[in-house]
């Protein structure tokens, strides 16, 4: 009760609407029921900022993958001279075997910093999006086979030291992006793209059989469902991963899409192909106007706590769905969709903390265990959705991830979350890091009662990471 009164007083002092708890979620954790590995759900698009260094915070988050798409839109990474095939090999008529025809300067700088911060690049081969009136690099390459050989030399530079290169050990190589989007990504026909993908995938997989070659990063996850995968199967096109994007406001909708994608892959004989959510963020619409402006405020503006809760919900949902890697779009400091780092100071914003907290689940715990939630709700209450993920470490420590997300801005009631733990948790130290409207990854100590229960309060669009020490700790 004392903690409840202190928290309530803090919210009132901050001018935040306060309502007495209108119900409770009851979460039961069973550490003996192991589900599988915690997956890299806190991957991103982009990398650490070069000129306004956020490397320290980046390392603390232990971000597993940084997809290189659209990095050439920001001078933090080297601007238009970075990453893209046309930036590295600007003259398509040049000899692709001559190292002098390649420019890796800024690409090396961006990838070097990413690797120094412990993040593996997820390399997108192709151009960046071109939303303007004129398209420069989203046209079909004049010579598909030569384009594939240029990509081969980029891989040789990054992984095998060719042309004074590096040995990054980059595993994932994605061919193109969003061909279903239209001229902003691909000005050619569907048939042309299928042929380009086949040419590049067959060549690169034959040249580098141990690497993961895939794509194509569909804007609509199920786009070309009657042509792309059947074509790949018919033509024996290697497909180590299938990448797709989802900009939504409901994490459960993304989970359903993920299950549909998995079913589509399996039906077409690609049971072993990974399903990778290459881009996601909170978006009501991309069309200019109020709905888009509201989305921007959720992503990185005055409603960023809602965006942070959505991020926490997405990670939990994708952990439970057939998604192998999920990559937030994106962390460019000038991109306008970055909820992790302030565009001026590059300091951490509230949206950074779900990524940092998931890094703990991924690296310090590692194994997902069963957690179920039911609720006891007061009459008339509507509290949004609770997303729960639980994990354990090799030493017996436990973690419970709680994300309370609501897309309804009128939801204001507090909720109690009661966590039922095994009896052997009694006497262990328990801590909680909470992020909400007034708290930012704030640590507090929780009491595990004699029945193995602990409880905390969550406001709308708040999330928490509860950690219970290993036995004897």
Q: For the chain, what is the mean pLDDT?
A: 92
**Interatomic CA distance for residues 337 and 87, integer angstroms:** 24
- Domain assignment present for residue 378? The answer is yes
Q: What digits encode the pLDDT tens for the residues 54-74?
A: 999 999 999 999 999 999 998
The reply to whether 118 and 170 lie within a common domain is: yes
The reply to whether 136 and 259 lie within a common domain is: yes
Rg (CA), the chain: 23
The reply to whether 450 and 382 lie within a common domain is: yes
Tell me, yes or no, if the pTM score tops 0.85: yes
Query: Among candidates 60, 123, 121, which has minimal Cα distance to 363?
Result: 60
Tell me the residue range of the domain where 172 lies.
Answer: 43-364
Domains contained in the chain, number: 2
Residue 377: pLDDT above 90? no
* pLDDT recorded at residue 447: 86
The reply to whether 15 and 146 lie within a common domain is: no
* Residue 402 contacts residue 435 (beta carbons within 8 Å): no
CATH number of domain containing 347: 3.20.20.80
- The encoded tokens of residue 470 equal 């290993």
Residue 381: pLDDT above 50? no
Q: What digits encode the pLDDT tens for the residues 161-185?
A: 999 999 999 999 999 999 999 999 9
* Residue 83 contacts residue 110 (beta carbons within 8 Å): yes
- Domain assignment present for residue 473? The answer is no
Strand-strand pairing, 415-420 and 23-37:
parallel
**Interatomic CA distance for residues 269 and 230, integer angstroms:** 9
* pLDDT recorded at residue 9: 43
**Interatomic CA distance for residues 205 and 241, integer angstroms:** 12
- Domain assignment present for residue 328? The answer is yes
The reply to whether 299 and 213 lie within a common domain is: yes
* pLDDT recorded at residue 336: 80
The reply to whether 313 and 396 lie within a common domain is: no
Residue 51: pLDDT above 90? no
* pLDDT recorded at residue 24: 87
Angle between helices 190-207 and 144-160 (to 10 degrees): 40
**Interatomic CA distance for residues 198 and 188, integer angstroms:** 15
The reply to whether 227 and 286 lie within a common domain is: yes
CATH number of domain containing 29: 2.60.40.1180
Q: What digits encode the pLDDT tens for the residues 123-157?
A: 999 999 999 999 999 999 999 999 999 999 999 99
Q: Please compute the mean of the pLDDT values over residues 446-465 and round it to a whole number.
A: 92
Strand partners, 442: 434
Mark which of 336, 364, 392 sits at the end of a domain.
364
Residue 414: pLDDT above 90? no
Mark which of 364, 396, 416 sits at the end of a domain.
364
Strand-strand pairing, 65-67 and 120-125:
parallel
* Residue 455 contacts residue 416 (beta carbons within 8 Å): yes
The reply to whether 296 and 408 lie within a common domain is: no
The reply to whether 54 and 24 lie within a common domain is: no
Mark which of 325, 344, 364 sits at the end of a domain.
364
């Amino acid at each position: 009760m004392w903690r409840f009164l202190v928290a309530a007083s803090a919210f009132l002092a901050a001018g935040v609407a306060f309502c007495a708890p209108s119900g409770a979620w009851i979460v039961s954790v069973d550490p003996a029921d192991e589900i599988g590995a915690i997956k890299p759900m806190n991957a991103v698009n982009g990398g650490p900022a070069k000129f306004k260094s956020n490397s320290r915070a980046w390392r603390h988050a232990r971000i597993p993958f940084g997809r290189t798409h659209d990095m050439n839109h920001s001078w933090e990474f080297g601007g238009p001279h970075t990453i893209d095939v046309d930036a590295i090999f600007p003259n398509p008529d040049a000899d692709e075997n001559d190292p002098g025809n390649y420019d890796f300067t800024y690409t090396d700088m961006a990838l070097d910093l990413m690797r120094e911060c412990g993040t593996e690049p997820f390399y997108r081969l192709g151009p960046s999006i071109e939303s303007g009136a004129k398209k420069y690099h989203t046209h079909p390459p004049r010579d598909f086979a030569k384009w594939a050989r240029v990509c081969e030399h980029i891989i040789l530079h990054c992984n095998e030291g060719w042309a004074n290169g590096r040995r990054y050990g980059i595993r994932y190589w994605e061919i193109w992006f969003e061909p279903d989007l239209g001229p902003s990504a691909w000005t050619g026909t569907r048939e042309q793209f299928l042929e380009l993908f086949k040419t590049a995938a067959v060549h690169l997989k034959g040249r580098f059989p141990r690497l993961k070659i895939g794509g194509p990063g569909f804007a609509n996850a199920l786009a070309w469902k009657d042509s792309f995968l059947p074509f790949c199967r018919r033509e024996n096109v290697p497909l180590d991963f299938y990448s797709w994007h989802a900009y939504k406001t409901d994490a459960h909708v993304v989970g359903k899409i993920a299950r549909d994608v998995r079913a589509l892959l399996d039906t077409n004989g690609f049971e072993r192909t990974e399903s990778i959510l290459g881009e996601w963020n909170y978006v009501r619409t991309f069309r200019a106007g109020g709905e888009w402006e509201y989305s921007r405020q959720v992503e990185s503006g005055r409603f960023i706590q809602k965006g942070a809760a959505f991020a926490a919900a997405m990670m939990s949902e994708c952990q439970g769905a057939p998604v192998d890697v999920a990559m937030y779009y994106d962390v460019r400091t000038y991109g306008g969709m970055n909820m992790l780092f302030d565009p001026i100071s590059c300091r951490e914003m509230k949206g950074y903390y779900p990524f940092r907290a998931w890094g703990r689940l991924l690296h310090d715990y590692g194994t997902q265990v069963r957690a179920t939630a039911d609720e006891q709700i007061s009459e008339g209450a509507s509290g949004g959705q609770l997303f729960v993920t639980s994990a354990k470490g090799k030493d017996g420590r436990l973690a419970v991830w709680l994300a309370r997300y609501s897309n309804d801005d009128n939801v204001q009631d507090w909720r109690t979350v009661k966590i039922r733990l095994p009896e052997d948790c009694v006497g262990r130290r328990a801590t909680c890091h909470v992020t909400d409207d007034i708290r930012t990854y704030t640590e507090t100590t929780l009491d595990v009662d004699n029945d193995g229960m602990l409880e905390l309060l969550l406001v709308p669009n708040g999330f928490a990471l509860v950690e219970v020490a290993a036995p004897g700790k």
